[in-house]
Structure 1
């Protein structure tokens, strides 16, 4: 059976591989620097997609590198970043931001979305005694959230408005941004709007059909200056940088037939398969956990059913609830097909 463990279990989309093979013999400058025409072209394509020509576009090998360099580059030594308690930088990156001398300031938000109300409580506490406490200077959000939630325009603007009022910079983790923005739950939020309001964010490639790589879009002057040095200092600079440029070039090149760029099309497939799985499991009587409209789907099942599902399709256990039941996650990808979903639903029918 096809695995539903993650959206980076496969290698890369055929279009990405063809681009890498067709440019393999070319000689270009290293480290994504001037003279690498593929990185330069990818930057131009991404700026066009974002509707801004005044942003820097830089590349990182993966999400942790993008988060660490992006977040820490926005902060001074005495400053911290506000995020939810389940945020990736708080629980899944081995304290990487803290290891770089910056402080993560989690809120009590429980559903993956950072709210102005919870962020305000952290702000008030951290600024209550002046220089004796870490001062918040940025907020971190991810789209999709850790629980597959999708930010819509109203929710996004409400947080950005609060951050602006407090003089805080907004950093968006976009490891699964393609899935989020192609979801019906985005409700008006666009790539152009994110580019307008965020100090920095990134476009995820690792989890959307590439072998590896994320593209950071940087509006903040401080991070623009810091990024080239931080990415090297923190061991994230790829010598064969052209491998990043070629992949993003292929992902954002506009097809001659008028279709969407590959980056969007791959995410739409992942979302469609995830929703097919969600609808099928719900119809079989399985209990969803949360309201994900993205390529991550969460369900509450017994330990016995969990073991059967894990053995069959590699789904991961995320939480243990107070009644002993487990929350498991299914993830679809660019490579998932409707037939793969139907095969899993056939098995699930025997467990319902």
Structure 2
């Protein structure tokens, strides 16, 4: 049975591997600095974002992108406002703190940063003047840690709040492909994100690339800091053209005028995940949350968890009690309908 552990278990989409192989013997300058593939990828991503006035830089992975992006927006006495389950708060081993910056979590519990909770953190952190860390940026992720998808209304609400406090928004886009091809996106587009965020990144690692994220930077502070922070914080890849080749391939216009490879890969992952969700719900399994992305969460018994984990590698996300645990199933660019149906059939024997 195909594993449903995560969306980066496989190597890369065939088109990506073919492009890497086809350019393997080329000799280019390093560090993403001026090679034709990185420059073409930058051109394509700017076009997709509808902006020619932003920097496009390439990072090796999500943690590196988060650390460089967040710390580059902050001054020494500032912190990042985020949810308590934000990746920078719980899943990156204190990487932001290790760089001398502070994470300022809210009490939001659904993965979405709300203006109301952000305002409470703002007021508290500014209540004692110089004696407390001052909020310096807003961090959100799309999709959220629980597979939630930001829609246009909710996204604009947090951006409006941030603008009213003169805070740049940084969007962790490790699964941005899944988010923007989800039926729950509600009008939110890449172009709109590019207009409103100080910086964000387009995730490749979790959407069919071997590795890599493409960061889009509008905020002048991060534009200046990025090259130096990337080197200082061990995120600069000497063979930088490998990143450019992948994103060039992912965003090259399709010959038939249809979706580019990047969005097609993400859409497949979502369609398979929603097929899985519908099948498990029909069997009587209880969803945890309302994910419309490639991550799906379900409440199961420990015995069901053990059987499912052994068969398809799903991960335990939360232990609610001795009788109930939350498991996560993740579909990828490589997941097929037959894989999903096989898992549903197995789950049927456990229901």
Q: Which residue of 2 aligns with 1:132?
A: 131
Q: Which residue of 2 aligns with 1:340?
A: 339
Distance 1:257 1:121 in 2: 50
Q: How does 1:32-71 map to 2 (within 5 A)?
A: 32-34=32-34, 36-71=35-70
Stretches of structure 2 lacking an aligned partner (at least 5 in a row):
none
Q: What is the CA distance between 1:324 and its match in structure 2? A: 3.5
Q: Which residue of 2 aligns with 1:15?
A: 15
Q: Which residue of 2 aligns with 1:117?
A: 116
Instruction: Tell me the TM-score normalised to structure 2 length.
Output: 0.99
Runs of 4+ in 1 over 6 A off after TM superposition: none
Deviations 1:235-261 (A, max 9, x none): 000000000000000000001111110
Instruction: Tell me the TM-score normalised to structure 1 length.
Output: 0.99
Other structure's SS at 1:236 match: coil
Distance 1:322 1:279 in 2: 25
Deviations 1:185-208 (A, max 9, x none): 000000000000000000000000
Other structure's SS at 1:351 match: coil
Distance 1:323 1:5 in 2: 23
Q: Which residue of 1 aligns with 2:2?
A: 2
Distance 1:70 1:298 in 2: 29
Q: What is the CA distance between 1:322 and its match in structure 2? A: 3.7
Q: Which residue of 2 aligns with 1:86?
A: 85
Q: Which residue of 2 aligns with 1:73?
A: 72
Q: How does 1:161-172 map to 2 (within 5 A)?
A: 161-172=160-171
Q: How does 1:1-352 map to 2 (within 5 A)?
A: 1-34=1-34, 36-322=35-321, 324-352=323-351
Q: What is the CA distance between 1:63 and its match in structure 2? A: 0.2
Distance 2:163 2:324 in 1: 41
Distance 2:243 2:196 in 1: 26
Deviations 1:253-292 (A, max 9, x none): 0011111100000000000000000000000000000000
Q: What is the CA distance between 1:323 and its match in structure 2? A: 5.6
Other structure's SS at 1:318 match: strand
Deviations 1:202-231 (A, max 9, x none): 000000000000000000001000000000
Residue-pair matches, total: 351
Distance 1:327 1:83 in 2: 23
